Copies of this chain bind each other. A is one copy, B any other.
Amino acid sequence: MLQSLSIERTKTKKRQPAADQLGFGNYYTDHMFIMDYEAGRGWHSPRIIPYQPIVLDPAAKVFHYGQTIFEGLKAYKTEDGRVLLFRPRKNFERMNRSNERLSVPEVPVDDCIEAMKQLIAVDRDWIPTAPSTSLYVRPFIIATQPQLGVAPSTHYQFIVIMSPVGAYYSEGVNPVKIFVESEYVRSVKGGVGEAKTAGNYAAGLKAQELAKDKGYSQVLWLDGVHRKYIEEVGSMNVFFKINGTVHTPALNGSILDGVTRRSIIELLGHWNVPVVERPISIEELYEASRKGELEEAFGTGTAAVISPVGELNWQDDVLVINGGQTGELSKKLYDTLTGIQMGKLADPYDWMVEAVSAPVKA
């Protein structure tokens, strides 16, 4: 399919923002990738074009019934000029699991990775190199059929846009304060919580706003059935180091199967740090803290990589973790993972994929 990839380069390059002005998701590169899907024809017309608006019929299903999937991954420029991607296959494999759940057609994984590499190559000058910066890559699919019956769309667009980004949280790698949500629920078993689809994020906005008003960066979601088991933090999976063992909620259908989550579990395994995936109740966590056994907590995600959690608030019961400081293990995981991602450390697990090879020395 990708043999027919066409590339149209922009005639008016945008001015690039300064590294300290980036923030997260505010600026977009000069180009985007797009391909179309039509029932009976499949994915077709792959093209790299100048970054430009999407033009859709107002009846397009994405506006009404939310049939949309996205992914997020980062590209890093190494000191020797190569561009590395972190486990991109995992993202497109997950996209296909999300697609399956939302009745969106499967995407060709190899073609998606290749298209993304070519797009990155075209906009390679956009990849920032300052500490904690990277090029955030956002592939997404939208349902475009202009039809108001509630049924899967016959037409879709797969699009990749890219944004040079700084740290996701203004705290950077400093610990964040998290509010444990008791009223609102993000997802429930049997729902779409495991899928990376727009509705999950819309459902979380209200609780997040209320938490922000109280001075917390994110919410920690509890399960929708018992309202006691820990699910995930805002846009991150979450880990707790209790008495030397690392615990993280087991995947249960309503928790996102994070690529960073998986990688952390694998990394801890390689280091012989015991790690357990299981249901974790919020009471248990508070109990462990009272016994002095809750040593560290951190969130994991593509946007934030590792984000230490310094404080939880559950029904006004404030729990300070590790004196509100970044824990030793959190720091080591952050340093190792970002080191591998930036190409500064060896990559013994073959996680990194070269999107652009090193330029030939002049």
Q: Are B198 and A203 in contact (CB under 8 A)?
A: no
Bound-state CA distance A271–B63 (Å) is 40
A222 to chain B, nearest CB (A): 9
Measured between beta carbons, the chain B residues less than 8 angstroms from A102 are 202, 205-206
| Number of chain copies forming the complex | 2
A279 contacts chain B at the CB level, 8 A cutoff? no
Distance A168 CA – B151 CA, assembled complex (angstroms): 12
Report the bound CA distance from A101 to B149 in whole Å: 24
In the complex, the chain B residue whose C-beta lies closest to that of A191 is: B185
Tell me the complex Cα distance, A235–B148, Å: 12
Contact indicator B59/A56 (Cβ below 8 Å): no
Interface with B: A24-32, A171-179, A319-327, A336-344, which one?
Answer: A24-32
- A53-B58, A58-B32, A205-B65 known; A148 and B152 CB under 8 Å? no
A148 contact from B101, B138, B205, Cβ within 8 A: B138
Q: Does A317 contact B (CB under 8 A)?
A: no
Segment 128-175 of A: residues with Cβ below 8 Å from B:
136, 138, 140, 142, 146-152, 159, 161, 163, 168
Q: Are A198 and B65 in contact (CB under 8 A)?
A: yes
**Smallest CB separation, A25 vs chain B (Å):** 3
A60 to B142, CA, bound (A): 12
B55 adjacent to A55 (CB under 8 Å): yes
Partner of A188, one of B67, B150, B224: B224
Q: Which of B152, B185, B202 contacts A68 (CB 8 A)?
A: B202
CB-based nearest B residue for A207: B190
Tell me, yes or no, whether A262 is within 8 Å of chain B by CB: no
CA distance A301 to B151 in the complex (A): 17
With both beta carbons as reference points, the residue of chain B lying nearest to A28 in the complex is identified as B59
Contact residues in B for A202 (Cβ distance below 8 Å)? 65-68, 102, 192, 197-199
1/0 per residue, CB under 8 A from B, across A287-320: the answer is 0000000000000000000000000000000000
Cβ-neighbour of A206 out of B51, B101, B205 (below 8 A): B101
Q: A62-B62, A185-B189 are in contact. List 19 more A-B contacts (CB 8 A).
A: A25-B59, A28-B59, A28-B146, A32-B58, A51-B58, A63-B140, A63-B198, A65-B198, A66-B66, A66-B68, A66-B197, A66-B199, A67-B202, A102-B206, A151-B205, A185-B188, A188-B224, A189-B224, A198-B198
- Footprint of B on A, CB under 8 Å? 23-26, 28, 32, 51-60, 62-68, 70, 101-103, 136, 138, 140, 142, 146-152, 159, 161, 163, 168, 183-192, 197-206, 208-209, 224-225, 227, 234-235
A61 CB, nearest partner CB in chain B, Å: 9
Nearest residue, chain B, Cβ from A55: B53
Can you report 5 A-B residue pairs in the complex whose CB atoms are below 8 A from each other? A54-B55, A64-B198, A65-B202, A66-B199, A197-B199
Question: In the complex, what distance in Å separates the CA atom of A203 from the CA atom of B203?
Answer: 12
- CB-CB under 8 A from A57, the residues of chain B are 53-54
Please report the C-alpha to C-alpha distance between residue A100 and residue B120 in the assembled complex, in whole angstroms: 39
B199 touches A200 (CB 8 A): yes
B183:A190 contact, CB within 8 angstroms = yes
Tell me which residues across on chain B come within 8 A of A227, comparing CB atoms.
190
Q: A59-B25, A59-B163, A150-B235 are in contact. Are A191 and B224 (CB under 8 A)?
A: yes
The complex places the Cα of A23 from the Cα of B200 at a distance, in Å, of 31
Contact between B209 and A103, CB atoms less than 8 A apart: yes
A200 to B51, CA, bound (A): 31
